Structure 1
Amino acid sequence: MRRNNWLLCFSFLIITFCFSQNKTNKIPLTDFLKSIENNFDVKFSYAVEDVANVFITKPNTELNLANTIQYLNANTLLNFKTLDNRYITVSVIDKTITVCGIIQTDQQDPLYGASVIIKDTTNGTSTNYQGKFELENIPLEAIISISYLGFETKIISAKSLFTDVNECQPIVLLENKQELNEVLITRYLTTGLQKLIDGSIVLNTENFGVLPGLTEPDVLQSIQVLPGIESVNESIANINVRGGTNDQNLMIWDGIKMYHSGHFFGLISAYNPNLTNKVVVTKNGTSSQFSDGVSSTINMLTKDELSNTFSAGTGVNLISADAFLNIPISKKIELLVSGRRSLTDAFKTPTYNNYFERSFQDSDINTSSNQENSTSSSDFFFYDYSAKLIYDISNNHKFRANVIGINNNLDYSESSTNTSDLSTTKTSNLSQQNLGVGANWQAHWSDNFSTNLSGFMSQYNVDASDLRVENNQLLVQANEVLETGIKLNTTLKLSDKLTVLSGYQFNEIGILNQTTVTAPSYERTKKDVLLNHALYTEAEFNNNNTYFRLGVRANYFEKFDKLILEPRVNIRQKLSHKLSLKAEGEFKNQSATQIVDFQDDFLGVENRRWILADNQSIPISTSQQGSFGMAFNQNNLNIDVTGFYKHVNGITASNQGFYNNFQYLKATGDYTAKGVEFLINKTANNYSTWISYTYSINNYKFESFTPSIFPNNVDIRHSVSVAGNYNIFDDLEISVGAIWHSGQPYTKPVEGNETVETGNNYYVNYDAPNSFNLDPFFRLDASLSYTFKLSGDVKTALRVGVRNITNQQNVINRYYKVDPNDNQNTIEVNNTSLSLTPNASLRINF
């Protein structure tokens, strides 16, 4: 032990000596200038702030005055100029420098993906896995802005980061104390995904990492990596959150309620990620300011702060091309514009062909061309656009205005030749549109009190005209939703830990459904309007160890003279630095739902239409949810286990899309979903890997049916997702992942008695509902991303992705129909998933 103590002391002396030697080589510039003044009898003239905090290494040999001045010019960022034999001036010159830094929290955790921008320019970068950044050849007087979601933006001078030794200074960002709902996990699964303390997930598209199979940060495809969120038919038009249907998800884009979500009838998100830079997903414990969406809330937000810098970008992939512009009009006004359009009507790629085959495999588009002496052709395209006006009236008052447009268009032509060789060509069309307009005024009346007044209009239309060649019949259909709303939020900050939100919301929604047929003549029109008033309030508290948000919402429907009260709760309690417990619960309602109509569909492509509750045959849907879980977080290892229970009342048989004996019956019922979600995620400097598993039981209950209780159409008992990202280099990233889940329930015909005759018609005689399951679904995906600079201000990203690498033939839906050639038998119809599909994208930002 005595010998070890001597070794320890000796080592300490050696380290101290070496450190001292290193320090003696670096002296303050002011001390060095004084020694020169004494040695050569000269006088330096300078501003104190120009030479403060500047250190210099002593020359190894003695130099004369001229060589000393030359040495100073070469080893500092200052200009030394001899005026005469006595005086020498010292000034700051216009030099470019290279700076670096390490962005971290006050707990010294690195912040990956933080934005580092040189103010008043388009030049910037983002931090790597160590939180490190480097900027080359920037002006000495440059000002750098550093920002990260959930943290206060920091403004720092480039000069303060410069050092003539190869060391990067640590830069600490503080949490944004103005937002109680702070960031809990800064990197969740992949870069750009973060978890907030209330359990909601934030997707930051600007810094979003690559996910398996994707070439762009597709908003609605990306959220399916989260446990409890999936699509049983791999369509974003059918996202199932904890066993719910897609119409039970409240989708909001900058305060505008949206009724349409996908291009290519569900394979591509309709929300351009270049302007939609943040998405907040909440499965339970929703804030009381939100209503509708009995399953989840998907809140999409665009950039909201002035940058005073022009920027632009463009990109192209094998399906579409897009562009965006950020245009400063003045110091207080800025305009953001984005647009995207498919290239499918100009040329058809293998990616398009696979998407087309997947989307239209079970529609009139593919079946009509099989008729004898008949040919068909189709032309499909889509586009979307969005714009936002940012106007800072003053430091305390801000105005924002938005517009978003989404469009899908399909033209379909049929040609037939009769026995006289006369040709007839007729055209059908299907169009889907969603137009949204919104505005809001944010006002800070004091440090503790603020208001936000907002309003929106959303209009959704699906229109189809189907002119059939064989019987010269024209079918015209329309489904229109028009909703307007206004909301006033007030926020009172009682302390740094407690905030109270209160508000009022008014909505008017009207829905039209219309069908017109010629030969024979038939017309049906139905229009409903509903007014809803709501008052809500909630208290949010956070003292680091304890977080809670308690609220209540009161909804009043004028037409039905009906009041619905909705309590909300969200609690998180830290048991230690590593372990915490969480509990969430909510009551919600929904007045607009979608029905599935197989007989009155739109060209066989779209069979869903929005309808409005009438409080009789179509009740207002209500839900009650509760969840409890625990989270463990240590050394970038996150383990999350959550048990959930959800009960939804007021569903109808028509909005479930039954392929069984209940398909044409009218009834109301409910469903109950309960299960467990498990996630383990490990991140490191250059990789992230995760595995998630969800077990759930989801059953219907319709009292008027026999049996009254049977499995839900989206009853997926087991669901597993495994994936990983690896940064081969700072600019080269690869991602590989696999999805496996139980097969979807389906109903078989009764064996040996497959059809039943009613009058002159034959129908499938189905067995017990949803008593069989399809084979399990499996898909393996991969993506590769490479980023590089074409020049100082031009960034380029090249991404390649492949979905379903193994070309697995997954059956995602199965039903039966009567064989037209033998009324005693049925034909099995299988809808399959997307086959092996490559895609590639090139994006340039400047």
Structure 2
Amino acid sequence: MITKIRFLLCCLLLMTSVVFTQNSSDKIALSTLLSTLEKSYDIKFSYSDTDVKDIFIPQPKQGISIDELLSFLNKKTFLQFKTLDNRYVTVSFLNKTIAICGTVLDAKTLEPLLLTSVKVNGYKLGTTTNNNGVFHLKNVPVNATLNISFIGFKTKNFAAKELFLPSCKQLFLEEASEQLSEIIMPRFLTAGLQKSTDGSTVLNTEKFGILPGLIEPDILQTIKILPGVESVNESISNINVRGGTNDQNLILWDGIKMYHAGHFFGLISAYNPYLTKKVSVTKNGTSSTFSDGVSSTINMETSNRITNKFSGGAGFNLLSADAFVQVPLKENLEVHISARRSFTDVINTPTYNNYFSRSFQDNSISSNIVNNTESDFYFYDYSFKVLYDVNYNHAIRTNFIHIKNNLDYKEQYTSNNTLIEENSALKQENVGAKISWDANWNAKFSTTLSAFYSDYKINSSDFNNDTDQFQTQFNNVLETEIKLNSKYEFSDVLFFTNGLVFNEIGIRNTTTVNAPTFSTTEKKVLLKSAFYSEIEYQKNNTYARFGVRANYFDKFNKFVIEPRINIRQQLNTAFSLKLEGELKNQTTAQKVDFEENFLGIEKRRWILSDDENIPIVKSKQVSFGTAYAKDKLYVDITSFYKKVDGITAANQGFYNNIQTFNSIGNYEVKGVEFLVNKQTENISTWLSYTYSKNEYSFDIFSPETFANSLDISHSVSAAFNYSFTKKLKVSFGGVLRSGKPYTKPVLGNETIQNGNRTIVNYDNPNQENLANFFRLDLSGSYKFDFSDALKATIRLGFTNITDKKNTIDSYYVVDDSSQNNVRRVDNYSLPFTPNLSFRVRF
């Protein structure tokens, strides 16, 4: 029996050897074959190594004559084999053409790239790929090179002979964006969050995992978990990056500057995440292509590729419902559409009730003083994008977005036996549109010409029953911009970017009052042009970006030069150093009114610099840090310094005696950010800590230097994510931070007379701090499939599970009925609030 087994094994080994020999002899390198033939036929081939490089042909039959051998070689290659005498054979290119083919694929997803440009360099010959990414070309010169390009991808060149039929070689193109922002942490804190080489944090909404309390990849809620990013009042409309105010964040949606951030007056993001492919958050070292936003840049980008696949999704939560679709109309034409609307004007859920009370707690709308009240609140947003590839080198994209909050409030009361009905209203909206033309002029040079329009309005009419006064306010920002951006690739590691920008912005503010009769309108317009230049280098362990932006303000006849720097150096496989610095400016700010406000909820109005009473806001910032990344452990320590000049007392939100002063000052913040994130196959846990000292300086005040209203000295957040399976996940976490500063009245002298009015007599500003803020959140998600094409996700989230009553703001009002004639008004955070979402995707 053993002998038979040995015999069978020997036969099997012999057969395997024969098969292997046959397979390996199917194709052989021509250079190797020629060396063998020289010995077998005692001849000498005269050729260039480059001519025969990468050519593989079948083995010729043994024992054939030299003439038959040369005929075989001429037939199987695109070379000419010619005998000079009985011993020497010359090898050279034929003056003829060959047929080639190839398959072009996305290097990341391995999906075929439709309509990829295939050009023969130096010849009027070319084609495009079909639905499978395949192309064929005939009559291609054998010594030619091919240029393979696709919008949004890195252009590559290939030798024609590499694609000689019948190989149909696979050719891989990489996305151009990956060259400039290589991902160094593919999974940061949770799935869908990534760290890029330039220091920015990238949110990929398609791959979003789970975060404590969140039921959706809410764009602006998500970035609040990053070190150095706070919101002193929980609102995403009031995101504070390294001690800056919310109006110092540049918010871009597909290149359109947006002036409106949140629905429900800041409790949820106004941007539908399900068509937003990528969000980049940059705190320092910003690219010179961006202006404004002296504290941060939040850049949201939707999908820019034609997929030629019909796809979409829909879902709802306890506030709203939404849907989105991607519809291919032709091979080179596609439409992306999204829409969301709340049903809060129809159904009152527990989530809605808590959000409503939180938003309107500082207003009579939430009180029960008036016997009969009726409120009607809703929000919506929608967007669409048209993608059109003119050909394989030119593409046109158009975008449109509309965001709106609407509140109608009606109150009824009886006066002198007469039923009186008064109506108040608040409408807040932002409309944006953009068109762009992307062009690849050759393998190294590309341009983008774009223009955008952004129109922001907030319009209110408010009846105050206590004072019998009717007031209207209107704030409008209208901005247009034309931009030409060019990029030249010196090599695979060195890039040069230049651009021109022409920008016009106009802001109007109108206020009317019936008693006493009063009306005022103020409108300002500013024209700004800019030139920027930037060079970017990325190779092996080094990343460096140096840029400069020159801004010219026509009305002020003023130049502002802004250098930018961003360097990252990998020291070894684990440690890296980073240095970032920038100068930036912005000409818009938000004035905060406490007496004349938009129904007590939106107290901020956009205003425009006049370079005198309202100067251009300028910042200078530098940060230095080190990071450790190995074995799924990531540790980051970054120190930073920022100084912002040109701020006014009117846009700082002071609750004290200086809120009405027209004074100009600055704030200076120093701090350290620390983050540690450990991941395993099923667990991701992190702890972050930020320490900062943030102080104002106003020359006319006493004291001149005092705590910033956004000074959060200590902030700690931690979370624990666990994946029970690939479909079932939970996330638990919390935040603990110092209370924000506030101002108390002078003890024993709480009120003073100001003309005919009695006002609160505040003490020195921001000498007190609110109690520490503490909140724990929990969320869970479960994915399941209805079919291979239809997938679903259900998420459940709980905000503030301990129901802690956090005070987020405090101020004082005159109240003759209370002790000391003043009454403290406290605003509180969200109480325990559940939410639920259900989504399907196809």
Give 1:387 deviation, angstroms: 0.4
Does residue 1:400 correspond to 2:422, yes or no? no
Is the CA contact 2:800–2:831 (under 8 Å) kept in the aligned structure 1? yes
AA matched with 1:685: E
* Contact 1:803–1:836 (CA under 8 A) maintained in structure 2: yes
> How many Å separate the matches in 2 of 1:387 and 1:557?
33
Deviations 1:137-169 (A, max 9, x none): xxxx9999xxxxx9999xxxxxxxxxxxxxxxx
User: What does residue range 58-457 of structure 1 map to in structure 2 within 5 Å?
Assistant: 179-367=179-367, 369-371=368-370, 374-420=371-417, 422-457=418-453
Checking the alignment, whether the CA contact within 8 Å between 2:379 and 2:406 is kept in structure 1 is: yes
Aligned to 1:778: 774
**Alignment-derived partner of residue 755 in structure 1:** 751
Deviation larger for 464-473 or 502-511: 464-473
Measure how far apart 1:496 and its partner are. Answer: 1.1
Instruction: Report the equivalent of 1:651.
Output: 647
1-structure distance, mates of 2:719, 2:786: 31
The whole-number CA distance in structure 2 between the counterparts of 1:540 and 1:682 is: 31
SS of residue matched to 1:713 = coil
Report if the CA contact (8 A) 1:277-1:301 is conserved: yes
**Which residue identity does 1:370 align to in structure 2?**
I
Distance in 2 of aligned mates of 1:25 and 1:417: 106
Question: For 2:615, what is the secondary structure of its paired residue?
Answer: coil
Q: Does the 8 A contact of 1:325 with 1:338 survive in 2?
A: yes
Per the TM alignment, residue 757 of structure 1 is displaced from its structure 2 partner at its CA by 2.4
Letter matched to residue 259 of structure 2 = Y
Distance 2:597 2:724 in 1: 49
Helix, strand or coil for the counterpart of 1:284?
Answer: coil
Aligned to 2:717: 721
Three-state SS of the structure 2 residue aligned to 1:329 is strand
| Cα distance in 1 between the residues matched to 2:719 and 2:508 | 44
Residue 802 of structure 1 aligns with an amino acid whose one-letter code is F
CA contact (8 A) 1:415 1:469 kept: no
Does structure 1 residue 660 correspond to structure 2 residue 674?
A: no
Contact 2:748 2:820 (C-alpha < 8 Å) held by counterparts? no
Larger radius of gyration: 2
Q: Do the aligned residues in 2 keep the contact of 1:180 with 1:497 (CA within 8 Å)?
A: no
State the secondary structure of the residue aligned to 2:353. Answer: helix
Aligned-partner residue type, residue 448 of structure 1: K
- Alpha-carbon shift at residue 603 of structure 1 (Å): 1.1
CA shift in 2, pair 1:415/1:495, >3 Å: same
Are residue 513 (structure 1) and residue 509 (structure 2) matched?
A: yes
* Structure 2: gaps (5+ residues): 1-5, 24-105, 115-130, 135-151, 156-171
User: Post-superposition shift, 1:725?
Assistant: 1.2
Q: Distance in 2 between matches of 1:24 and 1:666?
A: 93
CA positional deviation for 1:719: 0.4
Of 825, 830, 839, 2:835 maps to: 839
Aligned to 2:526: 530
Name the amino acid aligned to 1:413: K
CA contact (8 A) 1:425 1:469 kept: no
Q: Report the alpha carbon displacement of residue 754 of structure 1 after superposing the two structures with TM.
A: 1.5
DSSP 3-state at the match of 2:180: coil
2: CA distance between counterparts of 1:823 and 1:511?
43
Q: Deviations over 1:605-656 (max 9, x none)?
A: 2110000001111000000000000011111111100000000000000000
- SS of alignment partner, residue 729 of structure 1: coil
Aligned equivalents of 2:702, 2:218: Cα separation in 1: 42
CA offset at residue 753 of structure 1?
1.8
2:726 alignment partner, one of 727, 730, 735: 730
Provide, for residues 489-514 of structure 1, a one-character-per-residue CA deviation record: whole Å limited to 9, x for no partner.
01010111110100000110000000
Task: Name 1:602's counterpart in structure 2.
Answer: 598
Partner of residue 546, structure 2 = 550
Q: TM-score, normalised by structure 2?
A: 0.80
Aligned to 1:98: none
Residue by residue over 1:712-748, the C-alpha shift from the partner in whole angstroms, topping out at 9 and shown as x without a partner, is 0010000011012111001111111111100111111
Query: 1:561: which partner in 2?
Result: 557
Q: Which residue of 2 aligns with 1:163?
A: none
2:739 corresponds to: 743
- CA contact 1:762–1:823 (8 Å) conserved in 2: no
Alpha-carbon distance between aligned partners in 2 of 1:117 and 1:723, rounded to the nearest angstrom: 36
- SS of the counterpart of 1:424? strand
Q: In structure 1, what is the equivalent of residue 679 of structure 2? A: 683
**Structure 2: how far apart are the matches of 1:609 and 1:182?**
39
- Structure 1 residues 673-703: Cα deviation after superposition (integer angstroms, max 9, x where no partner): 1100001111122221111100000000000
**Distance (whole Å) between structure 2 residues aligned to residue 274 and residue 29 of structure 1:** 56
Three-state SS of the structure 2 residue aligned to 1:220 is helix
Q: Shift of the alpha carbon at 1:174? A: 7.4
* One-letter amino acid of the structure 1 residue matched with residue 372 of structure 2: T
| Counterpart selection for 2:792 from 792, 796, 817 | 796
Instruction: Return the alpha-carbon distance in structure 2 between the equivalents of residues 661 and 307 of structure 1.
Output: 59
The answer to whether the Cα contact below 8 Å between 1:435 and 1:460 also exists between their aligned partners in 2 is yes
Q: Is the 8 A contact 2:800 2:830 kept in 1?
A: yes
Q: What's the CA shift for 1:472?
A: 5.2
CA shift, 1:821, in A, is 2.2
Which secondary structure state, in structure 2, belongs to the residue aligned with residue 225 of structure 1? coil
State the Cα deviation string for residues 54-99 of structure 1 (Å, max 9, x = none).
xxxxxxxxxxxxxxxxxxxxxxxxxxxxxxxxxxxxxxxxxxxxxx
* Contact 1:345–1:379 under 8 Å retained in 2: yes
What residue number does 2:140 align with? none
Size of the aligned set, in residue pairs, is: 706
Going from structure 1 to structure 2, the CA distance change for 1:774 and 1:487 (only over 3 Å counts) comes to: same
CA distance in 1, matches of 2:177, 2:597: 51
Residue 752 of structure 1 deviates from its aligned partner by: 1.7
> 1:716 & 1:212 partners in 2: Cα distance?
22
Q: Closer, same or farther in 2 for the Cα pair 1:308/1:142, shift >3 Å?
A: closer
Shift of 1:178: 6.3
- CA distance, structure 2, for counterparts of residue 318 and residue 177 of structure 1: 37
Q: What whole-Å deviation, never above 9, does each CA across 1:736-786 have from its counterpart, x for those lacking one?
A: 111110011111112222122233322212122111111110110011010
Counterpart residue number, 1:133: none
Distance 1:522 1:558 in 2: 33
Contact 1:236 1:267 in 2 (8 A): yes
1:814 aligns with 2:813: no
Residue identity opposite 2:456 in structure 1: Y
Return 5+ residue gaps in structure 1 as ranges. 1-16, 35-103, 106-113, 121-140, 145-149, 154-171
In 2, the alpha carbon distance for the partners of 1:464 and 1:769 equals 31
TM-aligned CA deviation for residue 470 of structure 1 = 5.7
Query: Helix, strand or coil for the counterpart of 2:724?
Result: strand
Paired with 1:632 and 1:831, the residues of 2 have a C-alpha distance of 41
Kindly tell me: are residues 196 and 28 of structure 1, through their superposed partners in 2, closer, same or farther at Cα, counting changes over 3 Å? farther
CA separation in 2, counterparts of 1:808 and 1:142?
57
Determine the C-alpha separation between the residues in 1 that align with 2:297 and 2:465.
44
Per-residue deviation, 1:29: 13
> What amino acid does structure 2 have at the position aligned with 1:396?
N
How many percent of aligned residue pairs carry the same amino acid? 54
Check if 1:700 corresponds to 2:700: no
Q: Which 4+ stretches in 1 moved above 3 angstroms? A: 23-31, 114-120, 141-144, 150-153, 172-178, 467-473
Q: Is the alpha carbon distance of 1:177 and 1:392 closer, same or farther for their aligned partners in structure 2, counting shifts above 3 Å?
A: closer
- SS at 1:379 equivalent: strand
Deviations 1:315-351 (A, max 9, x none): 0000000000110000000000000000101100000
How far the C-alpha of 1:833 sits from its partner, in A, is: 0.1
